[in-house]
Structure 1
Amino acid sequence: MAAICTYWISTTLLSLLYLSSAFLYVTKRDFVRQAQADLGYHAAHLVTFMIVIKILGPIAILSRVSVPLSDLAYAGIFYHLLLSGMAHLGVRKPKGAIPAAIGLALLAASFATQNAARDMPSPYAPAAADHHLPLTTRN
């Protein structure tokens, strides 16, 4: 039961982090472009691409229409958060890496507990901790 609660809480918070970030990208486009330029990214199409990714990633995980697609979304989010945090640390702005660190913690909790909460298990997630072998009695 705890694993199921952990899954849904962490997945919901991760999704809210990504969807609120997508909302920021849509509403404060110039601010986001300048922030990315400060990190060394000067690609004009990057903002639009990230809006799409930040919406589709959580949808793939929450809807789970396909386990491989969900696992791919987990991997994509993992690399995005890792690279985002490293980009902020690389320009000596550690406060900017805090959302990425929080996201990585939420992602790890969600990924590790997904098989306990979902009917279709992921072959890559750790086995659910709720499955214990029965103890045998000695004669």
Structure 2
Amino acid sequence: MKTNKIIYWISTGLLSFFFLSGAMMYIFNYEHAHEFFISLGFPIWIIYPLAALKILGVITIISKKSLFLKELAYAGFLFDAILALAAHIIVKDGEHVPAIISLVFITVSWVYDRKVYGNYTQIKS
């Protein structure tokens, strides 16, 4: 059990770092994010809402206050990483590796969350 917790917290910490650093880049280096989103073909109006959702997703996963919101945050991170991977592959900018790494951290964190904190699909008595 201790090994599972260590794996969970390392993967969740790295996942949190990846998404928080992305959110901070969107907020504090808006010009770079603006150019980046245009080069990928995404609308620029989504930059600030996406940054806010990344921050809220990390808080939700770490706090574990709501199982539903935690699962929603994992799903949102998964969709974000898949779409980022697809966009980078389509525009062939060579920036697809961080998206792949994010997918690994999301998967490992989610799987080990289940191992450490239980399977939420079953009703606990």
Shared fold (TM-score, shorter chain, > 0.5): yes
Partner in structure 1 of residue 98 of structure 2: 99
Trace 1:17-96 onto structure 2 (pairs within 5 A).
17-41=18-42, 43-93=43-93, 95-96=94-95
Partner in structure 2 of residue 13 of structure 1: 14
- Which structure has the highest helix share of the two? 2
**1:123 partner letter:** T
d(CA) in 2 for partners of 1:78 and 1:122?
Answer: 19
* TM superposition outliers: structure 1 runs of 4+ over 3 Å: none
**2:120 partner letter:** S
Trace 1:90-129 onto structure 2 (pairs within 5 A).
90-93=90-93, 95-118=94-117, 121-123=119-121
TM-score (norm 2): 0.90
1:122 is displaced (CA, Å) by 2.7
**1:12 partner letter:** G
User: What runs of 5+ residues in structure 2 fail to find an aligned partner?
Assistant: none
Larger radius of gyration: 1
After superposition, what is the alpha-carbon deviation per residue over 1:82-106, rounded to whole angstroms, capped at 9, x for unaligned? 000100001112x311111101000
TM-score (norm 1): 0.82
Pick 1 or 2: higher relative contact order, CA cutoff 8 A, min separation 6: 2
CA contact (8 A) 2:38 2:44 kept: no
Output the aligned Cα RMSD.
1.5
